């Protein structure tokens, strides 16, 4: 079983996913209402035709991050109660990814060594998504 984050954005999913692809690499697929075809119907009231109805970033190591622009108009600007956790191979990569995601956002915990990881940090990106970036240690 795999759990896959599905993120919600306030009309800026394209911008966020473009940045995520820049940070993580991989293949990005963005489906907007304009290119979805007539069968998808018109965008919900208040949505722009170029709003993302589904986005997926697939990394070479099997990672999958998905999301869309909020179609219900309930997005508050932050994703409360959830952090997307990313496990990377080395502390240098943790710092690179952390710094890229924190740019324009906020830092909750600088990247530091902990009892469970040689590099662990928490930030919120400019789109309100919280991230936990770390080197995962094998359990003893």
Q: Can you give the CATH number for the domain in which 87 is found? A: 3.10.180.10
The secondary structure element, H or E, covering residue 123 is strand 120-124
pLDDT at position 138: 67
Shared domain for 60 and 10, answered yes or no, is: yes
Question: Whole-prediction pTM value?
Answer: 0.90
Does residue 105 fall inside a structural domain? yes
Does residue 75 fall inside a structural domain? no
How many domains does the chain contain in total?
2
Shared domain for 59 and 10, answered yes or no, is: yes
Shared domain for 59 and 17, answered yes or no, is: yes
Shared domain for 46 and 92, answered yes or no, is: no
pLDDT at position 88: 95
Residues 6+ apart with CB under 8 A from 9: 16, 52, 67, 68, 69, 70, 75, 127
φ, ψ (nearest 5 deg) of residue 49: -60, -25
Residues 6+ apart with CB under 8 A from 70: 8, 9, 10, 11
Shared domain for 52 and 88, answered yes or no, is: no
Residue 24: burial class (beta carbons within 10 Å; 0-12, 13-18, 19+): buried
Where does the pLDDT of residue 103 fall: very low under 50, low under 70, confident under 90, or very high at 90 and above? very high
If you average pLDDT over residues 14-35, what whole number do you get? 95
Domain of 63, in residue numbers: 6-69
Does residue 77 fall inside a structural domain? no
**Is 53 within 8 Å of 31 (Cβ atoms)?**
yes
| Rounded-to-integer distance, Cα 119 and Cα 122, Å | 11
| Rounded-to-integer distance, Cα 140 and Cα 137, Å | 9
Does residue 1 fall inside a structural domain? no
Does residue 28 fall inside a structural domain? yes
Tens of pLDDT, residue by residue over 55-97, are 999 999 999 999 999 877 666 666 678 899 999 999 999 999 9
**Is 106 within 8 Å of 123 (Cβ atoms)?**
yes
């Amino acid at each position: 079983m795999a759990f896959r984050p599905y993120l919600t954005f306030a009309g800026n999913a394209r911008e966020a996913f473009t940045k995520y692809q820049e940070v993580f690499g991989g293949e990005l697929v963005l489906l907007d209402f304009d290119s979805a075809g007539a069968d998808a119907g018109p965008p919900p009231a208040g949505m722009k035709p170029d709003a993302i109805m589904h986005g997926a970033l697939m990394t070479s190591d099997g990672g999958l991050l998905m999301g869309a622009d909020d179609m219900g108009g309930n997005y508050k600007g932050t994703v409360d109660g959830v952090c997307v956790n990313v496990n990377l191979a080395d502390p240098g990569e943790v710092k690179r990814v952390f710094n890229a995601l924190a740019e324009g956002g906020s830092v909750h915990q600088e990247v530091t060594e902990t009892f469970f990881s040689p590099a662990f940090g928490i930030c919120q990106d400019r789109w309100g998504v919280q991230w936990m970036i770390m080197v995962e240690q094998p359990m003893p």
